Structure 1
Amino acid sequence: MSKNISLIGVPSDIGASDRGACMGPEALRVAGLAEELMDLGFAVKDTGNLYGPKNPENPPENGYRHLKENVIWSKNIQEAVFSEIHDGNLPITLGGDHAMSIGSIAAIARHCADQKKKLCVIWIDAHADFNTCDTSPSGNIHGMPVAVAAGYGPKELLAIGHKVPMVDAPDIYQVGIRSVDKHEKELVVEAGVVVYDMRCIDEIGMRETMHQILKEVEEKDACLHVSFDVDSLDPTIAPGVATTIPGGLTYREAQLCMEMIHDSGRMISLDIMEINPALDKQNGTAKLAVDLTTSLFGRQIFQPNRHNRKK
């Protein structure tokens, strides 16, 4: 993991129906993300916010809402994220709605291809985000980024990647899923995405979930991109999101997930997505996201396995 972090603000809610996620980057800054990471010994550069089209709030057209505008945002993100990781920095994309991850995954996949490294994605979310124009009930592109990364979607978005697919579907691991549209589910299964939904986590626990995922990532000798949608958390602890779904990850489940990803040493980039300050309480959701991010970057109370001492 690089000790140099670049924060890239993406103030856009153009991929969603509800407004407000465009304020997410500033909420994370106010919650002290840069300062917390610096306290852990990282050098943090805030590159500011990217620019793109304003949200026209139009209805879907040919099954997609704001396709042209999403393409522009995704291209801008791809260029910015690639520039930072190419320079040896670890980019953190501050969203913004989750459609913005199309650009960040395109950049990381391109970088890994240049380095002849395999890429795996851990997608922490309440939703599978694997819709297409044929399966989406809303046409919102924030419900489509995983599908686009895996090669399903309009040619305009697919062309942002260095190849199609950007990432092979079996190299995408989803954690915390609990809301999937009927025909979207069929696509996920057909594509071969690896899904650990909330029932699975209830049955085997977060420790075993992450052990299985990270063991496969290690066997593939892959780099990791982590895409963290804050609606993966239970809305009782993270109300500041537009798409609240009951039964989400608890604080401890999410923290263990982050700690184990850190311990793997394989993460090279991160998205923090879908914080909506307009729906939050005293910026509490952003503060929680910052707290979990520090676990992802190595904050620990004690070293793990300290009780496994030889007698």
Structure 2
Amino acid sequence: MEPVRIVGVPTDYGASRRGVDMGPSAIRYAGLAAELESLGHDVRDVGDLPAPRTEEAARADPGRSDAKYLDAISSVCGRLANEVAGAANVGETPLVLGGDHSLAIGTLAGASRGADLGVVWFDAHGDFNTPGTTPSGNVHGMSLAAALGRGEFETSPWARSDGLDGENVALVGVRDLDSEERRTLRESDVTVFTISEIDDRGITAVVDDALGVASSGTDGVHVSLDLDWLDPTEAPGVGTPVRGDVTYREAHAALERVADVDLRSLELVEVNPILDDHNRTAELAVELAASALGKRIL
């Protein structure tokens, strides 16, 4: 099996609620490394990237209301991109632990360096806002748009993923979109599978189609798993829960499909231990990572 490099990104710059910076520690505490080693993976945990606390970042740069803590996010994402690219270049699968979803800008930049990348984005939200459309200013709601160079991110080399094209991006299980985000997604080349389509067709059919979009003509697939993709009865420890999203069994079925493609990188984001119940959400993140990396019932 492919060796796995674990890297933590303890940030909450992009989120509206504090505590998600403790997500990497919670996921490790839930037994991530041991679970992956039991599957036969050679696991190397390189620790957490340095990231100033939000209070320190605010003192250094008061920032802007339409893209909060953008300088701090760009700095951390630059370091993360180098780490992810380095892992991929030596044949390791980068497994990034968040932290809020703004870190995906760095993961995507690194995974697409020197490669044509496809993306499957498991999330209740679209993350397709820009500073010009956001109702909140929270960058975790802009990460996919940033990686695709939309809006002002078109002139932000640190954010754009040059090996990524919207035609190879699929959102799965979307349930909650802002009005401008809905419009821009409709106008984009991104493929969106809503939770309604999962209800109508079933999770495996939808995920197979999403993986087909992401793998068509690409060198590998990045999978971004926001734990708020699951119904909050399954994953209570997230900052932006959405009722009525995917079930525990649907999530495992989806991630098991991921193991059948050329997985270039994987990230687990938005685990917030402060909001969790006995680390349930972090434990679920470990289970789903194992499914994506080859765990089966038989």
TM-score (norm 2): 0.94
Structure 2 CA distance for aligned equivalents of residues 72 and 85 of structure 1: 21
Alignment-derived partner of residue 108 in structure 1: 111
Q: Are the aligned partners of 2:215 and 2:221 in contact in 1 as well (CA < 8 Å)?
A: no
Structure 2 CA distance for aligned equivalents of residues 69 and 216 of structure 1: 33
Structure 2 CA distance for aligned equivalents of residues 180 and 147 of structure 1: 13
SS in structure 2 of the partner of residue 241 of structure 1: coil
For residue 151 of structure 1, what is the amino acid of its counterpart?
A: G
Q: Which blocks of at least 5 consecutive residues in structure 1 are unaligned? A: 113-117, 303-311
Matched, 1:72 2:68: no
TM-score (norm 1): 0.90
Matched, 1:48 2:47: yes
Which stretch of the first structure deviates more once superposed, 84-93 or 29-38? Answer: 84-93
The structure that has the greater radius of gyration is: 1
Q: Are the aligned partners of 2:149 and 2:155 in contact in 1 as well (CA < 8 Å)?
A: no
**TM-aligned CA deviation for residue 231 of structure 1:** 0.4
Structure 2 CA distance for aligned equivalents of residues 71 and 219 of structure 1: 30
Structure 2 CA distance for aligned equivalents of residues 24 and 111 of structure 1: 30
- Equivalent residues in 2 for 1:128-167 (5 A)? 128-155=126-153, 158-160=156-158, 165-167=162-164
Alignment-derived partner of residue 243 in structure 1: 240
Structure 2 CA distance for aligned equivalents of residues 164 and 69 of structure 1: 18
Of 87, 91, 95 in structure 2, the residue corresponding to residue 92 of structure 1 is: 95
SS in structure 2 of the partner of residue 103 of structure 1: helix
Alignment-derived partner of residue 305 in structure 1: none
Q: What number of residue pairs does the alignment pair up?
A: 294
Quote the sequence identity (%): 39
Task: Note closer, same or farther for the CA distance 1:169–1:219 as it changes in structure 2 (3 Å cut).
Answer: closer
**TM-aligned CA deviation for residue 250 of structure 1:** 0.4
Q: Deviations over 1:256-304 (max 9, x none)?
A: 111111123x1111010000000001101100111111111111112xx
Q: Are the aligned partners of 2:21 and 2:99 in contact in 1 as well (CA < 8 Å)?
A: yes
Alignment-derived partner of residue 122 in structure 2: 124
**TM-aligned CA deviation for residue 46 of structure 1:** 0.5
Task: Note closer, same or farther for the CA distance 1:98–1:218 as it changes in structure 2 (3 Å cut).
Answer: closer
Structure 1 CA distance for aligned equivalents of residues 168 and 218 of structure 2: 11
Task: Note closer, same or farther for the CA distance 1:215–1:20 as it changes in structure 2 (3 Å cut).
Answer: same
Q: Which blocks of at least 5 consecutive residues in structure 2 are unaligned? A: none
Q: Are the aligned partners of 1:92 and 1:270 in contact in 2 as well (CA < 8 Å)?
A: yes
**TM-aligned CA deviation for residue 158 of structure 1:** 2.9
**TM-aligned CA deviation for residue 166 of structure 1:** 4.7
